[in-house]
A and B are shown apart, each in its own frame.
Chain A
Amino acid sequence: MQYGFHFNGRRCTGCKTCVLACKDFHDLPSDIAFRQVYEYGGGTWRRADDGTVTQDTFAYHLSVACNHCGNAACVRVCPTGAMHKDERGLVRVDADRCIGCGYCALSCPYRAPKVDRVAGRSAKCDGCAERVAEGRQPICVEACPLRALDFGPIDELRAAWGTVADVPPLPAATATAPNLVVSPPRIFKDDPGRVRAEGRVQNAREIV
């Protein structure tokens, strides 16, 4: 059975509790994060002659971790087979096989795998596999105060929430077949063309 994440773009406020809960739970250093929140926005504002200001800006947040892809680039390129999919379809690193070459990190379009230089191997979101094995949710899902994240069998998530998985700034889903469902933010649902044309990541310097 393939597991995956659901992200509700209409609920997320960009508080980044998911990011910090993940870093805390996995005891990650400052330069490694398994989950990131992208602030995506665009548009302009202008001041009229009478001093009033009008704007057509938009912004939304997207919480992104490993999407445990069906055609995972990291699994394809890994020279040792350390990067593999487990029985739940979660992409995990076998520390006893990883050589820390970083090829997985180079090839992933979601910036999911990181190279832990101290440990000498790749590190990434494993869907909190041990918690899931105990019947619990991943820590990011449990921590989200808005309940914008969910986790479970991807077929059930798709039945409930649809099949959209490539809201900007995410790449086209055809690239790696992510096991992710996104409930698009309102602005994207209303005018996807404008979002794709004008939007850009606003917090690039935050991203690790």
Chain B
Amino acid sequence: MTGFSFAFDEITLVLFTTLAPSGAVAYLLMSLPVMLGRATGDAARRLNQLTCLPLVIAMVGLVASATHLGNPSNALYVFTGVGRSPLSTEVGCAVAFLALAGIYWLYSFAEHPRRGLQRGLLAAIDVAIVAFVVAVAFAYHVDTIITWSLPLVPASLVLNSLVGGPLIALVGFALARWPVSRAALCGLAAAAFVANTVVYVVLGAWLHPLANELATVGQLVPAYPAFAATFVLLSASGIALSWRAADGAQGRKAASSGQAMSAPAAEPLAVADAPAATPAEPLTVAAAPAAAPTEQGAATEQGDAPAANGLPGDLHCVVVRSIGALLALAGIFVMRFVFYMTHLTVGLGV
């Protein structure tokens, strides 16, 4: 008896818990420049519209989760259980996030959007995102399921989202041509990755001796260390690839413009990554160039110059960062699969 068939039956939930939290965190990160007033004008418009990327990723996860329902026509009754049932609370938070984000995305096409309204909406969305990720983390935290009610299980999902989210956000920022600090985002993903790895090692030790009358965790997940190692390999590769992507883009841009990479006025990505230019920047966005904020869009346009190989300046960066994000998500997917493999209640449930 292994947990593989059980986890495979719940594959849509594996997909959901892989994609939705990471997409939500990516949305939160991409919303910060506009919400904090650092992105304005065309740059803000591009960022707003590109939030559809993490939004679509989160929605793909949610749609996948809906496919495991036997009778979706009764789904509206789910809202009667908000606050009582963890699953209802999760769905309620998801709907709040998606509804607000959808409204915001549509409003981003307005010719003269009100900045105050946008920033207020983004703040509300970010609160909904935090609530959503926490709700997903605790969705199966039921005392009768001994393997899922361990204290570190919710932490592992939150850390999953902090590994995948920043890497997806890096893709979004590249598409939006926003000069983000890849050091901050890759650093966040790397720190979460290290913490996540530690959590999985400790969880593995906690899970191993657990058993009920029908199975042991050792039987359900016979190769936990191999799964954890796969997570480490894939996620570390994803983070490394995302980190190197900016270097490649900068290198080509520098070569095409004939300027040194450290020339801040002409190279927004270099500005973002130069520690001296952003010494006290705690956020994931770079400090604005020395000129007025309204010039940010123009500055980033310069970064979009064709590279030496004829590709748009950011295309290579986008592709490589996308591969990096996919690798990390694949690593997270493996451990989410393992999570469902470990299902074990007290007594007789397997």
Residues of chain A touching chain B, judged by Cβ–Cβ distance below 8 Å, are: 38, 64, 73, 76-82, 96-103, 106-111, 115-117, 119-121, 168-172, 175-176, 200-201, 204, 207
Question: Is B349 in contact with chain A by the CB < 8 A criterion?
Answer: yes
Residue in B1, B78, B86, B347 whose beta carbon sits within 8 Å of that of A175 in the complex? B347
B72 within 8 A of A: yes
Contacts of B88 in A (CB 8 A): 79-80
- Residues in A whose Cβ lies below 8 Å from that of B70: 98-102, 115-117, 119-121
A109-B345, A201-B213, A204-B1 given as contacts; is B71 within 8 A of A79 (CB)?
no
Known: A77-B87, A81-B80, A107-B142. A99 touches B348 (CB 8 A): no
Residues of B near A169 (CB, < 8 A) are 213-214, 347-348
Contact A175 B71 (CB under 8 A): no
Q: How far is the CB of A172 from chain B (nearest CB, A)?
A: 7
Question: Are A171 and B81 neighbours in the complex by a CB distance under 8 Å?
Answer: no
Residues of B within 8 A of A108 (CB): 144, 345, 349
Judging by beta carbons under 8 Å apart, are B214 and A204 in contact?
Answer: yes
Per DSSP, chain A at the interface is: loop
Known: A99-B74, A106-B145. A78 touches B85 (CB 8 A): yes
**Chain B hits for A79, CB < 8 A:** 77-78, 81, 85, 87-88, 91
Chain A nearest Cβ from B149, distance in angstroms: 10
In the complex, whether B276 has a CB less than 8 A from a CB of chain A is no
List chain B residues, Cβ under 8 A from A170: 347-348
Mind listing 25 A-B residue pairs with CB under 8 Å?
A73-B142, A76-B142, A77-B86, A79-B77, A79-B85, A81-B80, A99-B70, A99-B78, A102-B70, A106-B349, A108-B349, A109-B144, A109-B347, A109-B348, A109-B349, A110-B347, A110-B348, A111-B349, A121-B71, A169-B213, A171-B347, A172-B346, A175-B143, A201-B213, A201-B214
Contacts of B347 in A (CB 8 A): 109-110, 169-171, 175
CB contact list, B75-105 vs A, under 8 A: 75, 77-78, 80-81, 84-88, 91
SS class of chain B's interface: helix, strand, loop or mixed?
loop
Q: Does B339 contact A (CB under 8 A)?
A: no
For the complex of A and B, the 5 pairs showing the least CB-CB separation, nearest first, are A100-B70, A171-B347, A120-B70, A169-B213, A109-B347
Chain B residues contacting A78 (CB-CB under 8 Å) are 81, 85
| A97-B77 in contact given A77-B85, A200-B213 (Cβ < 8 Å) | yes
B69: CB under 8 A from chain A? Answer: yes
Residue of A nearest to B140 (CB): A106
B115 within 8 A of A: no
Chain B residues near A107: list those with CB within 8 A. 142, 144-145, 345, 349
How far is it, in angstroms, between the C-alpha of A199 and the C-alpha of B74 when the chains are bound? 43
Name the residue of chain A whose CB is nearest to the CB of B10: A102
Contact, CB under 8 Å: A100 / B348:
no
**Which residues of chain A are within 8 angstroms of B214 by Cβ–Cβ distance?**
169, 201, 204, 207
* Cβ of B45 under 8 Å from chain A: no
> Please, how many angstroms separate the alpha-carbon atoms of A110 and B349 in the complex?
6
Q: Contact mask B138-153 → A, CB, 8 Å, 1/0?
A: 0010111100000000
